[in-house]
Structure 1
């Protein structure tokens, strides 16, 4: 089953900053008649630029200096499909859908062919072979290539960069053990109500029967010191939630190849929701900021090609100018990948009726219909 994943909860998965804790102010529950949010569906090559833009949105301030910083990052990392050099392999190498777990043949100069011929050395060096629930092995060529293709797309078909990122990911997964983190029990007092993973059917524009949506509920934080004070403990919870959402993609059961870089969307990605209802945007606690930065660094490096789109909901209307400002300094492809919604019930227009009623859909509350981390 070709499901989509991503990156995540109290600290945005995919790399958005966290904001100050709860406030007593609530956003209106009825959306205005006009919805000005943009829709789009880009993929891995713009993830880093999305993270830069998302950080600006979550900080909800954009000085001239910050605009310049974002603009510089955009220029330095302009590796999207509109500016990337065309692939060097032939047109006959284009990936075509198959009816079973068989990857189409690729020529000797194809990036995937080169990567596949060298991945075993990386596994040996890292002394670890698992990524997203798949064991990299020549005895499982289809699913191994599925993972390798994600790393290639994240690095615009640069084989050497993809190899380096995969090696770092294998070493990190061996040390951190995110699969174990996904099944550990965490403190209900620290993390209760902060993160959920939900399977949603009927997402507009999606070819998947079901898509994976991760909800980050920032307003659920009751004690910032308790939640974020222990940075390593928080990161373990956050990575566990991320890993749980990735495992929901069920990549070991995948039968459709991922298209080559710039030749189509990756069907094995997920959506991220960052809900700011009852959250103050006045200032950011140092502990929250540290947790945000560490989460961005970790998820951005070790979970490539796992985010389809990111939504910021219940953002005060008065702060809508930030989104407009960010759009002026990032590429169009990047802007399409994140959307700011001032009202929670606008989300139904983006993800369909499979979301909870509080977001305009037909399902019950997240606690009833979604899966969270094990808490005690």
Structure 2
């Protein structure tokens, strides 16, 4: 049987040996090496974590109208360079920006459509149009420009109706109202400016700068107008060089600076001799534009081209039931200043002295008596000995001079 004292000593010895095997107590101060060791572990594992996704920017999806028409996207890529080179960004009241701006998109679509999708050609045309607007400032011409009433009074009108909740804009050019063809067309630049001023008023009514929807490149375009050119009672059928020059210049400027703004163009009361003008237009305008031209020999038939609701508003002279243009249409500001320079006050005739008059009278009487003595020679008619074929030649030359804008 074991001794109780021995058993007690063994139990106490066992209790004393346990502390030597126990780890450091929690309240024991750790060494510097133990404190820094976790930091070293974190530093070692940090590079393993991927950081690239944090710096990546989400891909921006382009609008559908750019993906649908790649040429339009390419056109927008070139737009900043165009605006920088020209130094002007206003087109038809729209400040050109980027492809997120709806009015800007519509402007570029028009220039691209006018060039049948050719981006380089559209870029060249837009550059020329911007430069022309920068030099001429047609908006100012429409707002504050004043033109001679004697030259342009009654020649141009603007009416705006409503169709399906949108403005339907008409410009009317009444060339039969020209009083003096030489005065109206002699200054071609001034005539172009007056015509551009009328166009700008029409563009303002289209409200392109307020557009909220992009037009369909291959679909309908609500931002277009109707033009009517009336040649009733035109007096300048034998067109002189001044009229031809002004006509050509208007066609050139409008084809460059106002593309795809025309919905339809009606030439009413058109003389057959004006065929040369339509041929000239085909040289400067795209096929997409010339297909919109409609010659009508009788102006009263114009209303037949439109729905009944619009017929109620068109002027009576064109087959409608509405008021005449002079009664409700808008015009470019005109001034009543005379066309020609003021005539100088005629100088009073110099009174001759009685002696000088007496000297001159015998000379005049002598000349009269001498003339009376000479036999009167009859002038031989020039028409009689005309060479054969001369009538045909003169007839051939006449049509080249005929026509009107």
Could you tell me the TM-score, scaled by structure 2's length?
Answer: 0.60
Match runs of 1:103-142 below 5 Å: 104-107=64-67, 110-138=70-98, 141-142=101-102
CA distance in 2, matches of 1:227, 1:344: 23
Gapped regions of structure 2 (runs ≥ 5): 1-61, 336-405
Q: Does 1:210 align with 2:210?
A: no
Deviations 1:142-187 (A, max 9, x none): 1111111111101111111111111111111111111111121111
Corresponding residue for residue 222 of structure 1: 179
Match runs of 1:6-17 below 5 Å: none
Q: Does 1:257 align with 2:187?
A: no
Pairing partner for 1:149 from 91, 109, 115: 109
CA distance in 2, matches of 1:367, 1:284: 27
Contact 1:320 1:342 in 2 (8 A): no
Flag the 1:110–1:305 CA change in 2: closer, same or farther, 3 A: same
Corresponding residue for residue 17 of structure 2: none
CA distance in 1, matches of 2:186, 2:259: 27
Aligned alpha-carbon RMSD (Å):
2.8
Deviations 1:325-345 (A, max 9, x none): 98xx99997775121222222
Flag the 1:106–1:185 CA change in 2: closer, same or farther, 3 A: same
Higher helix fraction (1 or 2): 2
Q: Does 1:172 align with 2:132?
A: yes
Partner SS for 1:308: strand
Pairing partner for 1:239 from 193, 196, 216: 196
Contact 2:175 2:234 in 1 (8 A): yes
Corresponding residue for residue 155 of structure 2: 194
Q: Does 1:275 align with 2:259?
A: no
Partner SS for 2:88: coil
Corresponding residue for residue 364 of structure 1: 323
Give 1 or 2 for the bigger CA radius of gyration.
Answer: 2
Contact 1:363 1:369 in 2 (8 A): no
Corresponding residue for residue 343 of structure 2: none
Higher relative contact order (CA 8 A, sep 6+): 1
Flag the 1:277–1:112 CA change in 2: closer, same or farther, 3 A: same
Paired residues in the alignment total 264
Contact 1:348 1:359 in 2 (8 A): yes
Contact 1:348 1:355 in 2 (8 A): yes
Corresponding residue for residue 16 of structure 1: none
Runs ≥4 residues deviating over 4 A: 320-323, 329-336
Corresponding residue for residue 371 of structure 2: none
Contact 2:155 2:173 in 1 (8 A): yes
Corresponding residue for residue 339 of structure 1: 294
CA distance in 2, matches of 1:173, 1:257: 24
Flag the 1:118–1:367 CA change in 2: closer, same or farther, 3 A: same
CA distance in 2, matches of 1:332, 1:176: 28
CA distance in 2, matches of 1:336, 1:235: 24
CA distance in 1, matches of 2:289, 2:111: 19
CA distance in 1, matches of 2:264, 2:69: 32
Corresponding residue for residue 51 of structure 2: none
CA distance in 2, matches of 1:334, 1:252: 23
The alpha-carbon deviation at position 117 of structure 1 amounts to: 2.1
Partner SS for 2:67: coil
CA distance in 1, matches of 2:175, 2:76: 41
Corresponding residue for residue 375 of structure 1: 334
Deviations 1:29-80 (A, max 9, x none): xxxxxxxxxxxxxxxxxxxxxxxxxxxxxxxxxxxxxxxxxxxxxxxxxxxx
Partner SS for 1:358: helix
CA distance in 1, matches of 2:136, 2:325: 28
